[in-house]
A and B are shown apart, each in its own frame.
Chain A
Amino acid sequence: MNRRHFFLAAGTAAGCARDARPRLNVYNWSAYIDPAMVARFEREHGVRIRYGTYESNEEMLAKVITGNSGWDVVFPTHSRLGPMARHELLTPLDHGRLPSLGNLSARFQKPGWDPELRWGVPYLWNATGIAYNRRQIPEPRGWDALWSPALRGRLTMLDDPEDVIGICLLKQGLAFDSTNRAELARAKAEAIRQKTLLRAYMNAEVRDQLVAGDVLAAQLWSTTAAQAIHSAPQLGFAYPAEGFPLYCDNAAILRESRRTELAHAFLEFLLEPVAAAANARVAESATTNQAARALLPDDPVLYPDDGIYARGLWPPALPAEAQRYRDRLWTEIKSA
């Protein structure tokens, strides 16, 4: 439904081909904004927004790396922000134009990946944990619960090398972002051992099967789990004891942008509590905005308490060589 509204808005925008209003080009993850907020920004600023969506960081990077992609604002995940800045793809933010940065939660005011918020404004975040069926299995304490023979054929893992290899490392007390080959070999062995129990590697599509009861436990993002739990209260979400990865998407302005003033106005608009709350509600994701939190219902899945949150870690960007080695391991795991 969100998407339909969006396409309606986009269609209308496309209709006015000879529109004289200045245009801002916003490239965001799919279903990651309230279309009504896009319309409101257009109205309030007398501009029009060309809005496009992508499904992965790689898809976005492949376009913007050319330096003349035609987009102004993009939403990279935290680990891509540094590399994008180093590649001179981003414009440093002008805090003078972003007076509402103070609305961000304390933990997103000085995030480890961008302590001075020089390159991006934290937008929405989520974690990877375990979604499970509370009626049929006990609450998973740690990642090793996903190696339980009782789950045979009714267990799924994310179809994502970083998350799968990462938790195989965490399970053995190793670092999620290890680049050590011996450690990675141990992680691979764990993943292959788990494969006999595994139903499938799949991402958000597992939601329906969790709700239907086909799948009893799934490595899953907190946001997708929260959506499943809304329609099936018998489901729960566990944040494993060994730690878990956290991901935060950030609004950033491309260096190629010729409308940085308008782009700053858009980022400032995203920080406004009402807009931030509306966007978090539509995206069914966790907001980074403290002022917006007050406008949203409390949700222990999306917003775990501080004790749990402290176990989370923000995976950094991997060096190219390590990335390549992990891709090979992933192919080995998948074809084992």
Chain B
Amino acid sequence: MNLRSAFLLPARVWSAVFLATPLAIVCAYSLLTRGDYGGVERPWTPENYTRLLDPLYLGILWRSLWMAGLATAVCAVAGFPLALFIARAGRRRNLLLQLVLLPFWTSFLVRTYAWLFILRDTGLVNTALLRLGVIRSPLPLLYNEGAVLLGLVYNFLPFFVLPLYATLERLDPALPEAAADLGATPLRTLRRVILPLAAPGIAAGCVLVFIPCLGAYLTPDLLGGGKTVMLGNLIQNQFTTARDWPFGSAASLVLMLVSAAPLWFLLRREAR
């Protein structure tokens, strides 16, 4: 064994034990039959996959794609100026980056619960607006798709900002300067120079936001009040109340495939 493979061995063992094996189990489960009280039984069947073609489940998949796409778009619109601002902030750069990362110091769950306190009827926003006399009765800020979208954007915005920042930071400041010297307006410089150069960062950010949003289940549950079902909730329900592990496994694998599509696209792009 040469040195190179010796060094790679731990990573290979890790991947085999914690990635390949569980994945193989999920694949096997997805082709088995539901046990009455959880677990799986024989016979082998493709039924769990054909069931997913039911319009009910396709609708859920579509809704998940739509919500994840919307959240990604909002992250892109909000995240691009932020990343650009940080990349050009000079000495305050590191401080600003730390601020973007600050929310990660607490648990995802705690932060989502915090939104409940901000958005609820007797929460921060409604109380402030009521006191100021802007509204007469509390706004229904919680338990709708808007709240889910807000939660997704809030939680995953840093995943968009960080790769984009890395790209923008390496961007040679001489290039936009040259564009300006040659008479380009700032908007044109942004469109013709900065955006094309930032494209890999934007693509990476989009993939990093889109994939976790697609599988999100806590945010729709807590901020959506369980009134909308995303793919993540469907899967979670199969492993808990519904006790249908094979169907849950099949849905998980389909989710993985759908998530892998943008990743594959990104890799192909980079290879070129």
**Is B a genuine binding partner of A?**
yes
Chain A residues packing against B (C-beta within 8 Å): 56, 58-59, 61-62, 65-66, 80, 83-84, 87, 153, 156, 159-161, 195, 198-202, 209, 212-214, 320, 323-324, 327-328, 330-332, 334-335
With A331-B56, A331-B234 in contact, do A324 and B227 touch (Cβ < 8 Å)? no
* CB 8 Å contact bits of B122-154 with A (1 = contact, 0 = none): 100000000000000010101100000000000
Q: Which of B36-44, B75-83, B178-186, B199-207 interfaces with chain A? A: B36-44
B37 engages A61 (CB within 8 Å):
yes
CA distance A202 to B225 in the complex (A): 7
Between-chain CB contacts (< 8 Å), 25 pairs: A56-B241, A58-B241, A61-B37, A62-B38, A62-B239, A65-B38, A66-B39, A80-B37, A153-B140, A159-B221, A159-B226, A198-B225, A199-B225, A200-B224, A200-B226, A201-B225, A201-B227, A209-B121, A212-B121, A214-B121, A324-B34, A324-B242, A327-B242, A334-B233, A335-B60
A334 engages B243 (CB within 8 Å):
no
Per CB-CB distance, the 6 closest pairs between chain A and chain B, nearest first, are: A200-B225, A201-B226, A327-B242, A214-B121, A335-B229, A200-B143
Chain B residues packing against A (C-beta within 8 Å): 34-39, 56-57, 59-60, 63, 120-122, 138, 140, 142-143, 221, 224-229, 233-234, 237, 239-244
Residue in B closest to A206 when the chains form the complex, CB atoms: B225
Q: How far is the CB of B42 from chain A (nearest CB, A)?
A: 15
A62 engages B39 (CB within 8 Å):
yes
A327 engages B237 (CB within 8 Å):
yes
B60 engages A83 (CB within 8 Å):
no
With A212-B122, A328-B56 in contact, do A202 and B226 touch (Cβ < 8 Å)? yes
CA distance A332 to B228 in the complex (A): 10
Q: How far is the CB of A23 from chain B (nearest CB, A)?
A: 26
CA distance A209 to B121 in the complex (A): 9
Q: How far is the CB of B122 from chain A (nearest CB, A)?
A: 5
Contacts of B233 in A (CB 8 A): 334
A65 engages B39 (CB within 8 Å):
yes
Q: How far is the CB of A145 from chain B (nearest CB, A)?
A: 20
CA distance A161 to B241 in the complex (A): 8
A59 engages B240 (CB within 8 Å):
yes
Contacts of A320 in B (CB 8 A): 34, 36
Contacts of B35 in A (CB 8 A): 65
Partner of B241, one of A80, A160, A332: A160
Contacts of B227 in A (CB 8 A): 195, 198, 200-201, 334
Q: How far is the CB of B246 from chain A (nearest CB, A)?
A: 11
Partner of A331, one of B39, B120, B225, B237: B237
Q: Most chain-A Cβ atoms within 10 A of its Cβ — which of B57, B142, B143?
A: B143
Q: How far is the CB of B228 from chain A (nearest CB, A)?
A: 7
CA distance A161 to B121 in the complex (A): 27
CA distance A160 to B240 in the complex (A): 11
Q: How far is the CB of B162 from chain A (nearest CB, A)?
A: 32
CA distance A23 to B241 in the complex (A): 32
Residue in B closest to A335 when the chains form the complex, CB atoms: B229
CA distance A327 to B56 in the complex (A): 12
With A56-B240, A58-B241, A328-B56 in contact, do A334 and B228 touch (Cβ < 8 Å)? yes
Contacts of A331 in B (CB 8 A): 56-57, 60, 229, 234, 237
Q: How far is the CB of A319 from chain B (nearest CB, A)?
A: 9
CA distance A84 to B38 in the complex (A): 12
Q: How far is the CB of A278 from chain B (nearest CB, A)?
A: 30
CA distance A195 to B229 in the complex (A): 14
Contacts of A330 in B (CB 8 A): 237, 241-242
CA distance A181 to B12 in the complex (A): 51
